[in-house]
């Protein structure tokens, strides 16, 4: 078994590996996996192994054979001088969420659960349902009233059970937590194990660039788990001397759902109402806001917005350059990269996070 503890991000309370609830029982804060890095080792064939999600297994809190659908190994495609897109649509359920799901559902099996519950804007539940089906366990999803109906249909087709709540994503999250507590289901979603799995996107980007970090990394921000995972992944690569500098992390939100951008500017996190069609990043109150703010500030990055029209234009450009259909939110980071006008000689990567349309 690997050496790690679970630590509360608010009060610092420490829990052992067998504690299955994702929040601190003392203060309700999010728990975080804290490795003893001195005891972690890269896998033996690290330098020659194919680039895939589980190549970086040393950095995931898993001690058993993974439940996998072949996630990761997604393309990093050049789209101009020093500019790249990481095409997460290449994943089994067409979004980066599969990297979190493979770790979470493997963890559910390790703990011995036969049912998981998740709150989702769509893509996450789609992914969790697919991995639960592979593992042979039940998946229950809570979605907000603004959830994408096509995605709900797709979740049901994967055998997932869907409960639509009267309210937004944050209401769905509260309901999922209540359901987990009352039924004993394993709570998955934007919590510690998903965050660990999502680091895979950034391990791969750096690996594909020969561990020469770009100047900028553009990451879409909904609940802010991916951008927090980005920072943790980069810190880990630095700790293992695989990279020697940190890219500037740029968090991207829709103009019509920008609680995180406001938070970075004002230092106060306030819930906002949603006015965007980019459903996958339409979150009024991001769970990982604090960690995401740190990611931006510690790397000299920033938080920016793009309009739905700019995302539409970016979708079009992604299709022309890479032949894949991104969804609106999936094109947000690329839209921001174009808008940013990266100077000559500088390099940047934008994560194209999903393509469920
Ligand atoms: Zn606590």
169-206 residue pLDDT tens: 889 999 999 999 999 999 999 999 999 999 999 999 99
For 155-177, give the DSSP string.
HHHTT-EEEE-SS-HHHHHHHHH
Using the mean position of ligand 1's atoms as its centre, give its distance from the Cα of residue 5 in Å.
Answer: 14
Q: How far is Cα 343 from Cα 357, in angstroms, rounded to an integer?
A: 33
In DSSP terms, 220 is beta-bridged to: 252
Using the mean position of ligand 1's atoms as its centre, give its distance from the Cα of residue 7 in Å.
Answer: 8
Average pLDDT in the 86-111 region? 97
Average pLDDT in the 123-128 region? 90
Q: How far apart are the first and last CA of the chain?
A: 40
Q: Residue 1: pLDDT above 70? A: no
β-pair type (138-143, 161-164): parallel
Using the mean position of ligand 1's atoms as its centre, give its distance from the Cα of residue 190 in Å.
Answer: 17
Using the mean position of ligand 1's atoms as its centre, give its distance from the Cα of residue 305 in Å.
Answer: 32
Using the mean position of ligand 1's atoms as its centre, give its distance from the Cα of residue 287 in Å.
Answer: 15
Using the mean position of ligand 1's atoms as its centre, give its distance from the Cα of residue 176 in Å.
Answer: 20
Asked if residues 298 and 234 have their Cβ atoms less than 8 Å apart, the reply is: no
Cα dihedral 350/351/355/357 (nearest 10): -60
Using the mean position of ligand 1's atoms as its centre, give its distance from the Cα of residue 14 in Å.
Answer: 8
Work out the percent of the chain whose per-residue pLDDT is above 70: 99
Q: Per-residue pLDDT tens for 65-83? A: 999 999 999 999 999 999 9
Using the mean position of ligand 1's atoms as its centre, give its distance from the Cα of residue 13 in Å.
Answer: 5
Using the mean position of ligand 1's atoms as its centre, give its distance from the Cα of residue 233 in Å.
Answer: 23
Q: Look at phi and psi of residue 151 and say left if phi exceeds 0, alpha if psi is from -120 to 50, else beta.
A: alpha
Using the mean position of ligand 1's atoms as its centre, give its distance from the Cα of residue 168 in Å.
Answer: 26
Q: Which pLDDT band, with edges at 50, 70 and 90, does 146 fall under?
A: confident
Could you say which DSSP state residue 23 is in?
Answer: B
Phi, psi of 217 (to 5 degrees): -125, 120
Using the mean position of ligand 1's atoms as its centre, give its distance from the Cα of residue 27 in Å.
Answer: 4
Return the closest-CA partner of residue 9 out of 293, 250, 236. Answer: 293
Return the closest-CA partner of residue 354 out of 125, 123, 194. Answer: 123
Using the mean position of ligand 1's atoms as its centre, give its distance from the Cα of residue 29 in Å.
Answer: 5
Return the closest-CA partner of residue 306 out of 349, 257, 249, 268. Answer: 257
Three-class DSSP category at 87? strand
Q: Which pLDDT band, with edges at 50, 70 and 90, does 139 fall under?
A: very high
Using the mean position of ligand 1's atoms as its centre, give its distance from the Cα of residue 353 in Å.
Answer: 31
Using the mean position of ligand 1's atoms as its centre, give its distance from the Cα of residue 104 in Å.
Answer: 22
Q: How many CB atoms lie within 10 A of CB 321?
A: 15
């Amino acid at each position: 078994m690997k050496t790690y503890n679970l630590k509360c991000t608010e009060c610092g309370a420490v829990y052992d590996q067998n504690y299955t609830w994702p929040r601190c029982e003392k203060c309700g804060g999010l728990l975080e996996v804290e490795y003893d890095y001195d005891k972690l080792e890269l896998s033996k064939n690290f330098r020659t192994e194919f680039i895939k999600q589980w190549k970086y297994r040393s950095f995931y809190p898993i001690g058993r054979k993974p439940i996998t659908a072949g996630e990761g190994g997604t393309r990093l495609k050049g789209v101009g001088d020093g500019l790249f897109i990481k095409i997460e649509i290449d994943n089994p359920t067409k979004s980066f969420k599969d990297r979190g799901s493979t770790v979470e559902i493997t963890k559910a099996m390790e703990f011995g659960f036969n049912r998981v519950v998740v709150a989702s804007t769509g893509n996450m539940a789609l992914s969790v349902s697919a991995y639960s089906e592979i593992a042979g366990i039940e998946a229950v999803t809570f979605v907000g009233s603004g959830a994408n109906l096509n995605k709900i249909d797709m979740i049901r087709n994967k055998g997932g059970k869907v409960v639509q709540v009267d309210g937004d994503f944050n209401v769905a999250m509260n309901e999922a937590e209540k359901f987990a507590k009352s039924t004993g289901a394993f709570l998955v979603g934007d919590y510690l194990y998903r965050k660990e799995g999502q680091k895979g996107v950034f391990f791969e980007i750096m690996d594909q660039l020969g561990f020469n970090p770009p100047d900028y990394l553009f990451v879409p921000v909904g609940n802010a788990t991916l951008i927090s995972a980005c920072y943790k992944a980069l810190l880990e690569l630095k700790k293992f001397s695989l990279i020697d500098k940190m890219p500037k992390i740029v968090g991207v939100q829709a103009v019509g759902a920008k609680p995180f951008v406001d938070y970075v500017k004002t230092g106060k996190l306030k819930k906002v109402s949603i006015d965007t069609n980019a459903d996958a990043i339409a979150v009024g109150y991001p769970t990982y806001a604090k960690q995401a703010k740190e990611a931006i500030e510690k790397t000299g990055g920033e938080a920016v917005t793009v309009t739905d029209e700019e995302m539409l234009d970016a979708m079009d450009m992604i299709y022309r350059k890479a032949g894949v259909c991104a969804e609106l939110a999936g094109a947000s980071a690329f839209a921001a990269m174009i808008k940013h006008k990266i100077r000559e000689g500088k390099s940047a990567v934008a994560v194209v996070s999903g393509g469920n349309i």
